[in-house]
Structure 1
Amino acid sequence: MGVEIKVDGLTKSFGKQVIWGDVSLTIPAGEICVMLGPSGTGKSVFLKTLIGLLKPDKGSIVIEGTDIATCSERQLYEIRKLFGVLFQDGAMFGSMNLYDNVAFPLREHTRKSESEVRDVVMEKMELVGLVGAEDKLPGEISGGMRKRAGLARALVLDPEIVLFDEPDSGLDPVRTSFLNQLIVDLNAQIDATFLIVTHDINTARTVPDNIGLLFHRHLAMFGPREMLLSSEEPVVRQFLNAQRIGPIGMSEEKDADELEAEKDQELPALPPIPLQLEPSNGVARRSQRPPGEWCREHGVTPPPGSFEENMSMATGA
Structure 2
Amino acid sequence: MGVDVKIDGLTKSFGKQLIWKDVTLTLPAGEISVMLGPSGTGKSVLLKTLIGLIKPDEGAVVIEGVDIATCSEKDLYEIRKLFGVLFQDGAMFGSMDLFDNVAFPLREHTKKGESEIRDIVMEKMDLVGLIGAENKLPGEISGGMRKRAGLARALVLDPEILLIDEPDSGLDPVRTAFINQLFIDLNAQIDATFLIVTHDINSTRTVPDNIGLLYHKHLAMFGPREMLLSSEEPVVRQFLNAQTIGPIGMSEEKDADELAAEKDMGLPPLPPIPMQLEPSNGIPRTYQRPPGAWCRENGVTPPPGSFQPDPTTPMSSSQANPTEAPH
Say yes or no: TM over 0.5. yes
Deviation at residue 261 of structure 1 after TM alignment: 1.5
- 1:234-260 Cα offsets, whole Å, 9 max, x none, are 000000000000011111111112111
Q: One-letter code of the match for 2:323? A: M
- Aligned positions of 1:102-181 closer than 5 A: 102-181=102-181
Give the corresponding residue for 1:297.
297
Unaligned 5+ residue runs, structure 1?
none
Give the corresponding residue for 1:62.
62
Give the corresponding residue for 1:285.
285
Q: Does 1:313 align with 2:319?
A: no
- Aligned positions of 1:263-274 closer than 5 A: 263-274=263-274
Work out the CA distance in 2 between the residues paired with 1:312 and 1:197.
28
Deviation at residue 124 of structure 1 after TM alignment: 0.3
Q: One-letter code of the match for 1:184? A: I
Q: One-letter code of the match for 1:236? A: V
- 1:108-132 Cα offsets, whole Å, 9 max, x none, are 1111100010000000001000001
Work out the CA distance in 2 between the residues paired with 1:51 and 1:113.
28
**Paired residue secondary structure (2:303):** coil
Work out the CA distance in 1 between the residues paired with 2:197 and 2:321.
29
Work out the CA distance in 1 between the residues paired with 2:43 and 2:244.
22
Q: Is this contact kept in 1: 2:105–2:153, CA < 8 A?
A: yes
**Paired residue secondary structure (1:89):** coil
Deviation at residue 311 of structure 1 after TM alignment: 7.0
Q: Is this contact kept in 2: 1:292–1:315, CA < 8 A?
A: no
- 1:173-225 Cα offsets, whole Å, 9 max, x none, are 10000000000000000110000000000110000000000000000000000
Give the corresponding residue for 2:97.
97
Q: Is this contact kept in 2: 1:144–1:171, CA < 8 A?
A: yes
Q: Is this contact kept in 2: 1:188–1:285, CA < 8 A?
A: yes
Task: Rate the CA distance shift 1:19–1:120 in 2: closer, same or farther, 3 A.
Answer: same
Work out the CA distance in 2 between the residues paired with 1:300 and 1:136.
51
Q: Is this contact kept in 2: 1:9–1:21, CA < 8 A?
A: yes
Work out the CA distance in 2 between the residues paired with 1:156 and 1:69.
26
Deviation at residue 262 of structure 1 after TM alignment: 1.0
Query: For structure 1, which segment, 262-271 or 306-315, has the greater mean C-alpha deviation from structure 2 after superposition?
Result: 306-315
Work out the CA distance in 2 between the residues paired with 1:287 and 1:38.
29
Give the corresponding residue for 1:249.
249
Work out the CA distance in 1 between the residues paired with 2:218 and 2:323.
37
Task: Rate the CA distance shift 1:112–1:29 in 2: closer, same or farther, 3 A.
Answer: same
Give the corresponding residue for 1:42.
42
Give the corresponding residue for 2:185.
185
Q: Aligned pair count?
A: 316
Give the corresponding residue for 2:316.
none
**Paired residue secondary structure (2:35):** strand
Give the corresponding residue for 1:20.
20
**Paired residue secondary structure (1:25):** strand
- Aligned-residue sequence identity (percent) comes to 82
Q: Is this contact kept in 2: 1:292–1:311, CA < 8 A?
A: no
TM-score calculated relative to the size of structure 1: 0.98
Q: One-letter code of the match for 1:40? A: G
Q: Is this contact kept in 1: 2:290–2:322, CA < 8 A?
A: no
- Aligned positions of 1:198-237 closer than 5 A: 198-237=198-237
Work out the CA distance in 2 between the residues paired with 1:48 and 1:259.
35
Please, what is the CA RMSD of the aligned residues?
Answer: 1.1
**Paired residue secondary structure (1:287):** coil
Runs of 4+, deviation exceeding 2 Å:
309-316
